[in-house]
Chain A
Amino acid sequence: AQSVTQLDSQVPVFEEAPVELRCNYSSSVSVYLFWYVQYPNQGLQLLLKYLSGSTLVKGINGFEAEFNKSQTSFHLRKPSVHISDTAEYFCAVQRGGSEKLVFGKGTKLTVNP
């Protein structure tokens, strides 16, 4: 069974600073990887996904993530954050052949002025 570990439960940063949210997964088979963002009392919005091909994936709102198979990681990055990026971020994995998503515990990103 696959699992997802988000190493940081909370990440505080100042506005316009770069940020990296870490995600590691474990799976013995090929997987698809996702990052979702959740604003308070709302559902999840897809930021980006890795399916195959280029290991650097660009998503919405200036976010990008890099798939590293040898380190089983899929870290999310943004070079300059805004106050509006304050939200909960979830990394998720989907095993090939399965329709289920397995989520990490989430990382609360707080952008301070």
Chain B
Amino acid sequence: GAVVSQHPSRVICKSGTSVKIECRSLDFQATTMFWYRQFPKQSLMLMATSNEGSKATYEQGVEKDKFLINHASLTLSTLTVTSAHPEDSSFYICSASVDNRMPYGYTFGSGTRLTVV
């Protein structure tokens, strides 16, 4: 089946540094990938939609300069948290659209736990 690999699974970084999270589709091409943020004991909030070869579409309230998304190939999307602060600590999950027909099938990565100290 369709598999999405997300790396790293956990990362601890110092305040002010940048962190890059990778999301790869292993056995299919993903023209669209999605990035979510999940706060403790809360639901997934869509941050942005990443389209291969074009700029990402950010949800309202998400700082595009802070959360840089690059979708340079059909199998890789990256999320870079720039100048991270403790309030950016969260669980980040990516998902990919498996096919281009409605309704889309989605597969999710295993998530990245970011802790900013």
Contacts and interface: CB of A to CB of B under 8 A. Distances in A.
Given A94-B103, A96-B103, A43 B109 contact: yes
Interface in B33-47: 34, 41-44, 46
Interface residues of B, number: 25
A74 interface: no
B32 interface: yes
B93 A99 contact: no
Given A99-B49, A103-B44, A43 B104 contact: no
Contacts, number: 53
21 contacts: A41-B111, A43-B95, A44-B95, A46-B106, A46-B107, A49-B103, A51-B103, A90-B43, A96-B102, A96-B103, A97-B102, A99-B32, A99-B97, A101-B34, A101-B95, A101-B106, A102-B46, A105-B43, A106-B42, A106-B43, A108-B41
B108 to A, nearest CB: 4
B6 interface: yes
B110 interface: yes
Interface in A77-113: 90, 94, 96-97, 99-106, 108
Interface of B: 4, 6, 9, 32, 34, 41-44, 46, 49, 91, 93, 95, 97, 102-104, 106-111, 113
A32 B103 contact: yes
A42 B46 CA distance: 17
Contacts of B113: 41
